[in-house]
Amino acid sequence: EVQLVESGGGLVQSGRSLRLSCIASGFTFGDHAMAWFRQAPGTGLEWVALIRNRAYSGTTEYAASVKGRFTISRDDSKSIAYLQMNSLKTEDTAIYYCTRRDGFAAKFDYWGQGTLVTVSS
Amino acid sequence: QSVLTQPPSASGTPGQRVTISCSGGNSNIGTSTVNWYQQLPGTAPKLLIYSNNQRPSGVPDRFSGSKSGTSASLAISGLQSEDEADYYCAAWDDSLSGPAFGGGTKVTAL
């Protein structure tokens, strides 16, 4: 059974940093691209970052709203994806979801339960 | 504003057919497949339709998807109360180098 479990969320002051982790199980982690999404309270889904698998050199992509502040990475030996969030802003407050991409395009077939990040001013 | 455009809400009585539209452009829907996600209240999103019209295992066949040009739609045939949720369309966007999402449509069973 595929499982994605996020951790690392919490309350942090504006300007500080936080690192989210996503522990994956139930599939060959290294075969899949992984991505992070977020959902601010009462709003829709927003893609944050994506990291491709080793076959595609683990290249990364970022939404414009986080580029230069957030870094996505992966440790295939531990089946963990990370999201390092620096220079946090109040508008980064959201539930952050870890997802697995199946194949290409925008097919994200498994989602974690989410971890809440709250940035205070 | 979201890259893909969806109506904010849709509704129907139980048993009715409900359709949700999703409009995009040449950099996303026009050149990529469309996926739909269902988010039940208080839960994480779930893949509902992929590759325009394919259902993952376990998704009831009352859900169907279609795509034409730069637009797509999701249909729920025979709306049920448990279908009350937010629905999001998504497609890869070459301009973003990432997935583009619609703003979501809240479906209500009257």
Q: B33-79 pLDDT, tens per residue?
A: 999 999 999 999 999 999 999 999 999 999 999 999 999 999 999 99
| Distance (Å) from the alpha carbon of B89 to chain A's nearest alpha carbon | 10
Q: A56-90 pLDDT, tens per residue?
A: 999 999 999 999 999 999 999 999 999 999 999 99
Give A108's contacts in chain B (Cβ within 8 Å).
35, 37, 47, 90, 99
Please give the Cα distance from B101 to B98 (Å, whole number): 10
- B92 to A50: CB separation less than 8 angstroms, yes or no: no
Chain B: residue nearest A44 by CA? B103
